[in-house]
Amino acid sequence: MRAATIILAILLTLPTAAFVRAGSVTDFPLLRDRADPVLQRGIVQSLAALGLESAVAGKKLALAVADITDLEHPRVASVNGDEMMYAASLPKLAILLGALVQVEQGKLSLTRRVRDSLTRMIRKSSNVEATRMLNRVGKQRLITILMSDRYRLYDPKANGGLWVGKEYGRAGAYQRDPLHRLSHGATALQTARFYYLLETHRLVRSDLCREMKTMLSKPAIHHKFVKGLARYPDVRLYRKSGSWRHWHADSAIVESGRHKYIAVALAEHPDASQWLVDIIQAIHKLIVPTAVAHNVH
């Protein structure tokens, strides 16, 4: 507990700007400043139609959606967007970022072996590769990156965010997050912000953002968002999900024709995997109202 208290004290002394740009000359807006009442109303109504109002009220479901068809003018909606939840494999996104930050800084070479390892970690959600790359980056180094002024992807003023404090294996947690004591956690809005920084080439330099997006493409696990959007032949997903027992999470940049949006959902319920299938279909209909679905057998 003493270590967690010290970390929290350090975090609280950091500058107050919760969403610092990562070195871009373009002044993109903060997602929190782009709440759209029409999209918000549509999301709330869609969740009610799916019978998920009690899950929202009980904070068993968190959701963030950002229509980024116009990158400089995103439209954002969320429910429980700052609720920190156990996210299983979804925070492997943080390990991916940590590895490419090390590449950017010349501390790690993006060899074919490293690229393949990162790709398996994301597309197939390999725990072996996640643990290997976590240790290549360094456990404390990754936490430093996530909490840094450059990223603030874990920020106490935003109730947390992406956190990795445990290897993906049987070993116990080495450092739980200081606010909620989670080993692998996330908030919907901070995860959406990760994808917005990626899409606007502010996570790392542009060539590495392109590498990252390639690794996030072609998901090999066909459930949740992938299953929900399988009926739309023109959809492209750049995605990372997570599942453990009754915790289910998914996150993606979704491209469909001229439309592009970010969707992040975190849920705790035995039926949550199916919730995410239904939710992504509802989101897609809101943002891409002209989308034509094919029958999937």
Q: What is the per-residue pLDDT across 116-127, written as a single tens digit (0 to 9) for each?
A: 999 999 999 999
More confident residue, 292 or 247: 247
Mind listing the pLDDT tens digit for each residue in 221-258? Answer: 999 999 999 999 999 999 999 999 999 999 999 999 99
Fold of 28-287: Beta-lactamase (3.40.710)
Phi, psi of 274 (to 5 degrees): -70, -35
More confident residue, 12 or 59: 59
CA distance 169 to 293: 39
pLDDT at position 278, please? 98
Contact between 36 and 76 (Cβ < 8 Å): yes
- Predicted confidence band at 56 (pLDDT cuts at 50, 70, 90)? very high
| pLDDT of 16 over the 50 cut | no
For the chain, give the percent of residues with pLDDT over 70. 90
CA nearest neighbour of 264 among 237, 289, 236: 237
More confident residue, 14 or 286: 286
Mind listing the pLDDT tens digit for each residue in 148-207? Answer: 999 999 999 999 999 999 999 999 999 999 999 999 999 999 999 999 999 999 999 999
Chain length of the chain: 297
Dihedral of alpha carbons 78, 81, 87, 92, sign: positive
Range 70-91 average pLDDT: 98
pLDDT at position 26, please? 55
pLDDT at position 13, please? 34
Contact between 217 and 124 (Cβ < 8 Å): no
Range 82-98 average pLDDT: 98
CA 127, 132, 137: angle at the middle one, nearest 5? Answer: 125
CA distance 12 to 18: 11
